[in-house]
Structure 1
Amino acid sequence: MKHRHAYLIIAHGSFDVLRVLLEALDDIRNDVYIHFDGKLEQLPTVRMEKAGLYILNQRVKVYWGDVSQIKAEYALFETAFYNGVYSYYHLLSGVDFPLKSQDYIHQFFLNNQGKELIGFSQYNVEMEVERKAGRYHLYPRSFRNNGLYKRILRSIFLRMQELFGIKRNGDVRFRKGANWSSMSASFIEYLIPMKYEVFKMYKNSFCADEIYKQTVCWNSPFRLKVFNSEDEAKGIMRAVKWKGRQVFDWTIDDYEFLVQSEFLFGRKFSDDNMEVVNKVFELIKPKAEL
């Protein structure tokens, strides 16, 4: 079947949302690949009727801000790419949810065939990406769960690199944006052979999952295929509830905004706010045949 889509899901919790997400993606034109965090001891029971469902055996222990996030993404890219033929690959979190029907989403990508939905931050990111990807970071697996000792050492080590002018990847033109993307088969094919180079480049970096795809795309012919490089949200067609620099969960109070927006997906939802998830699903799910 032509124009099949692969949905690549990184899941670590909120399994009530995940189960409804799978219902929303359960379409004969889709295959769904799930990477469950390697730290999970017990996996939820999930099933699909129409779409193909693949649970990755190669499970990475994912730590926020660490290169392990990129390794989980590559595990999904490779598994899907070598398993089937797809026109688009949608990278989602297990707490994302479609805001449009599968008919609408498939038609959107037919109308924009070959476009890359990769988001680019619009502010000046030069100093930020230099700090995140141009310096070495200690204890990269404990950015969120670190004690005072690790924070002090990390800060001192970064300051020493600044004082002595120690930089890495100095010849790379970095770009930054949201890591959740929808990419063509051509871009995935271009990205996969770079795997070990990417792992090496971003080892001991900070939040490079928001940097590596943008950097590869911007420094390649795919830069000309970007769907929207001037608006990050529209560039990935994902609605995100920002308050300052923090992302908040969508609630039932946001329902009208979500369903009236042009965005294809929303992030992020939670098990504590299933009312909005279920209500969006009722709107977008296929109508029963009479």
Structure 2
Amino acid sequence: MKHAYLILAHNQFEILEILIAALDDKRNDIYIHIDKKVDTIPLLQTEHAELHVLKERIAISWGDVSIVEAELLLFQKAKDTGIYSHYHLLSGVDLPLQSQDNIHAFCAGHPAKQFIGYSQGDQRGHISRKVQRYHIFPKHFRSIGSVADKTRQALRFLFLRVQFIFGILRNTDIELKKGTQWLSLTGEFVVYLLQQKQEILKRYRYTFCADEIFVQTACWNSPFREQIYDLTDEGRGSQRLIQWRDNQLYDWEDKDVEKLNTKAFLFARKFNDRNMEVVTKILEKIKR
């Protein structure tokens, strides 16, 4: 059965074109959401896979529920268009670490597994701060510099402080979990997830970084929990190799090729057009 690749992109379009070429297989359909703030959409094309560049676009703001809306839009578009065994959510600066033959064989060998990464350790503090408090001005989390920005930040801090003082909590009716937003899901779970779309958008409005929480939480509180591939390792669970150091995300560079080659995950993020040597070597590997 076919796979659906769902891609969120907003820049680094040279990497996006390389990603599309790596996924260009008759067994795949590719769906791309390009941030509405992008004025000029690049010309993208495939030879074998069906390519769908979404006409409906959302202006995504970091940390805001708008990224959840864009993800759900991709899932909905793909679900309404075709029938897929697996849906892979990627960013536009990701690359596969395996050939399409290997990816399809791996998923066929685990047909009912949800490849969702779950953060390890006690995450209750992070989760409470992000989605159990109300965050005002959510589209301006990263806006700094102007007087208006400083005013919004001060008001946001004050409003959060008041909630802490008076013990105001929301989303206490469900067990919340977090992890990487990049994941691969079965068609059955995507149908289940989309049935909750309106509830999800209501629950996570005025929260912070809910994209790291909403799928993990939905799966954990569902009959699909027993299908989670690996609960003990976030990378292995999601099948994503992501380079986090000191709570910061780093690009892959040429010096990282050995690590990228030795890890048997399906995908890696994130790449940068300033380090094309590593991109070339990854492409050589998956084409063997």
How high is the TM-score relative to the length of structure 1? 0.96
Which ranges of structure 1 fall in alignment gaps of 5 or more residues? none
**2:268 equivalent in structure 1:** 266
**2:228 equivalent in structure 1:** 226
Q: Residues 66-77 of structure 1 correspond to what in structure 2 (within 5 A)?
A: 66-77=64-75
**How many angstroms apart in 1 are the aligned matches of 2:192 and 2:71?**
15
Q: Residues 40-55 of structure 1 correspond to what in structure 2 (within 5 A)?
A: 40-55=38-53
Residue by residue over 1:66-111, the C-alpha shift from the partner in whole angstroms, topping out at 9 and shown as x without a partner, is 0000000011000000100100000000000001100000000011
**How many angstroms apart in 2 are the aligned matches of 1:38 and 1:195?**
21
Q: State the identity %.
A: 48
**How many angstroms apart in 1 are the aligned matches of 2:197 and 2:127?**
20
8 Å contact from structure 1 (residues 96, 265) kept in 2: yes
**2:129 equivalent in structure 1:** 131
**2:4 equivalent in structure 1:** 6
Moved over 2 A (4+): none
> Are 2:186 and 1:184 aligned?
yes
**1:152 equivalent in structure 2:** 154
**3-state SS of the aligned residue for 1:60?**
coil
**How many angstroms apart in 2 are the aligned matches of 1:256 and 1:131?**
37
8 Å contact from structure 1 (residues 88, 185) kept in 2: yes
**1:18 equivalent in structure 2:** 16
**1:95 equivalent in structure 2:** 93
**How many angstroms apart in 2 are the aligned matches of 1:236 and 1:273?**
25
**3-state SS of the aligned residue for 1:65?**
coil
Cα shift at 1:153: 1.0
**2:61 equivalent in structure 1:** 63
**How many angstroms apart in 1 are the aligned matches of 2:167 and 2:122?**
21
What letter corresponds to residue 17 of structure 1 in structure 2? I
> Are 2:141 and 1:143 aligned?
yes
**How many angstroms apart in 1 are the aligned matches of 2:224 and 2:172?**
22
Q: Residues 241-252 of structure 1 correspond to what in structure 2 (within 5 A)?
A: 241-252=243-254
**2:82 equivalent in structure 1:** 84
8 Å contact from structure 1 (residues 249, 270) kept in 2: yes
**How many angstroms apart in 2 are the aligned matches of 1:121 and 1:241?**
14
What letter corresponds to residue 5 of structure 1 in structure 2? H
What letter corresponds to residue 141 of structure 2 in structure 1? F
**2:33 equivalent in structure 1:** 35
**3-state SS of the aligned residue for 2:52?**
strand
Residue by residue over 1:29-71, the C-alpha shift from the partner in whole angstroms, topping out at 9 and shown as x without a partner, is 0000000001111001110000000010110000100000000
8 Å contact from structure 1 (residues 20, 278) kept in 2: no
What letter corresponds to residue 84 of structure 1 in structure 2? G
**How many angstroms apart in 2 are the aligned matches of 1:15 and 1:281?**
17
**How many angstroms apart in 1 are the aligned matches of 2:219 and 2:150?**
37
Say how many residue pairs are matched: 284
How high is the TM-score relative to the length of structure 2? 0.97
What letter corresponds to residue 225 of structure 2 in structure 1? R
What letter corresponds to residue 143 of structure 2 in structure 1? N
